[in-house]
A and B are shown apart, each in its own frame.
Chain A
Amino acid sequence: MRDVITERTKMKIAVLSGKGGTGKTMLSVNLAAVATPSTYVDCDVEEPNGYLFFKPEDVRPEIVSVLVPSADPNICNGCKECVRFCKFHALAHSGEHLIVFEDVCHSCGGCSLICPLNAITEHPRTVGVVESGRSGEVTIHTGRMNVGEAAGLPIIRKLMKKISESGQERIFIDCPPGSSCTVMESIRDAEFCVLVSEPTIFGTHNLEMIVELVRTFDKPFGVILNKRLDGEKDPSEEYCHRNCLPILGKIPFDHELGILNSEGKIASRENGRFFQMFKDIYDHITECVSI
């Protein structure tokens, strides 16, 4: 059965958590490393970290840009039709020329379309980059938003486009924290969601939120209980039991794992014990997906 699954076509698995720092990157990096040939996609474009572990080679950057407007001062007559139209308050008129606040523009294209004199044209503005490289049998796509930018969504959209074009492999999507539009976009095409939690009431509260999120999108999912302390109660585990949520695996708080991880090393490549642990989790996930 397992061989049949391995030969299945593309499978996209999103790793998310709501709360930051529960171990999304650690898990998705190691899953990609044991499920080769595979692809790792870093959608945490504000603070991407997966590349620090993979240290990819042959990196090819692709600029991500959005369209922003500007008006030809020789044509614009200051009618302010565009200023009144823009719901995002990205436009103002100084009396002499049109001022564009590019960082609040949503690139809807409305102003250029409705300008009665066709004075407005759009031009690309760089907001970030997607870098693609390789580490062994893992393909790595990293999205990185430029510092000072507000919205990472266009970069995540570019990453999604990239993976829709890639071949038949296992794809692991490392999602941003939270539960806003960027997370939604990151899980949109995923066939399965892995929710990572930690044994704190913070982790549990945010786990409840993303369970709601993945249910809204009818995504099959399972939970990984991370950073388990020996003999301590885990409120996230209790929450899973109360609500009959599938638990995919438990990762103990482990000093060696912590050190490897803090130094940007891929635990499953360094140590056979960790390879087996992540391989077991991966096998459990593929079983869940095939059902």
Chain B
Amino acid sequence: MKQLLILSGKGGTGKTTLASAIIRLSEAKACADCDVDAPNLHLVMDYKGETERKDYYGLPKAFIDAGLCTHCGSCLEICRFEAVISGKKMHIDPRACEGCGLCERICPVGAIEMHPSVAGELRLLSDPEKGIFSTAQLKMGNGTTGLLVTEVKKQMIKASDNASLAVIDGSPGIGCPVIASITGVDMILIVTEPSLSGISDMDRILDTARRLGSDITVCVNKADTNQKMTEQIRDRCLQMDVPYTGEIPFDPEAVRIVNKGLTLADEKCPAGDAIRSVFENVMNIMNRR
């Protein structure tokens, strides 16, 4: 199975809009939403059939047994995450605890134990016609996004043995969840926008992806909103020898279609036509490799 990942660096350039349209156009039998702390792909995918839900456990977190605690303060002193809250009763702030287990280890009276902690929920949808859709939702304010992203991809791969293509919607940024989403994919499609911010963020995600040795192509969304910047992006790709796979125009119709819970491949519109051409270019490059 070949895996195509959509990334952007900058948020809001159109990853989910593009990914959802490509999933429809390619009829990919496997897809995933790796933007686990702000997932949106499910809003336009409309998968019918079974949904398998599973709690996702991050690292166990510390818990102080107030009955045993002698208030000696050892844990307070060694915790580097400011997770130990002292007061009438010493307790752990589970949002700050990163689960290193040092407090449990050094507590002289054995008052601290590590307890399992649910950090999110994994969802696996199986539509008899469309195929597999893997997604997740991280619990508010949690920090193990990279591990959850890896789980989302793992359950997609495990469930889709006969799919030839998987399309994966990524998250913005260049950190932990993005690095986890890049591992093992065959091609990254970066969608950027013609602005100073879009270019700066594209440079950083390109750098990140290249360090990991990935194959990359670039396309520009809302390309006509600043033609000068779009040309700059095109030139930059040429200089860096990154294949440039096309331009998608700003299209007010796109907002209306997405707000109906549809993808841009479901209704005729200028942005949808442009995405079709980007998709064909990307597939040509991917199939040559």
Contacts and interface: CB of A to CB of B under 8 A. Distances in A.
Given A87-B59, A109-B102, A147-B207, A176 B173 contact: yes
A165 to B, nearest CB: 18
Contacts of A229: 252, 255
A47 B9 contact: yes
B272 interface: no
A216 B80 contact: no
Interface string B183-194: 000000000011
Interface residues on B, range: 35 or more
Interface in A153-210: 153, 176-181, 183-184, 198-202, 205-206, 209
Interface string B238-265: 0000000000000010011011010000
A202 B98 contact: no
B170 to A, nearest CB: 11
Contacts of A232: 252, 255-256
A258 interface: yes
B175 A150 contact: yes
Among B81, B105, B176, B200, residue most surrounded by chain A Cβ atoms (within 10 Å): B176
A52 B255 contact: no
B172 A25 contact: no
Contacts, number: 180
Given A19-B11, A201-B43, A229-B252, A149 B175 contact: yes
Given A18-B38, A21-B11, A88-B100, A179 B173 contact: no
Given A52-B197, A200-B258, A20 B10 contact: yes
A213 B141 contact: yes
Nearest to B10: A47
A62 interface: no
A235 interface: yes
Interface string A11-54: 00000001111100100000000000000000010110100100
Contacts of B255: 199-200, 229, 232
A264 interface: yes
Interface stretch (B47-55, B121-129, B142-150, B273-281): B142-150
Contacts of A258: 225-226
Nearest to B258: A200
Interface string A235-274: 1000000000000000000000011011110000000000
A83 interface: no
A147 B176 contact: no
Interface string A70-113: 00000000000000010110000000000000000011111001
Given A113-B106, A200-B259, A177 B80 contact: no
A180 B98 contact: no
Contacts of A46: 172-175, 178, 204
Contacts of B98: 106, 108
Contact of A178 (B43, B171, B198): B171
A107 B100 CA distance: 9
A12 B9 CA distance: 27
A106 B146 CA distance: 14
B38 A179 contact: yes
A115 interface: no
B117 interface: no
Q: Is the interface of A mostly helix, strand, loop or mixed?
A: loop
A262 B226 contact: yes
B140 A179 contact: yes
A106 B98 CA distance: 8
B160 interface: no
Given A20-B10, A109-B102, A147-B211, A47 B200 contact: yes
A87 B95 contact: no
Interface string B84-112: 00000000000100111110011000000
B78 A201 contact: no
B116 interface: no
Given A110-B100, A216-B141, A264 B196 contact: yes
A179 B259 contact: no
B38 A49 contact: no
A153 B144 CA distance: 12
Interface of B: 8-13, 16, 35, 37-38, 40, 43-44, 59, 78, 80-81, 95, 98-102, 105-106, 138, 140-143, 145-146, 171-176, 178-179, 193-198, 200-201, 204, 207-208, 211, 225-226, 229, 252, 255-256, 258-259, 261
Interface of A: 18-22, 25, 44, 46-47, 49, 52, 85, 87-88, 106-110, 113-114, 145, 147-153, 176-181, 183-184, 198-202, 205-206, 209, 212-213, 216, 229, 232-233, 235, 258-259, 261-264
5 contacts: A47-B204, A49-B201, A88-B100, A178-B171, A262-B194
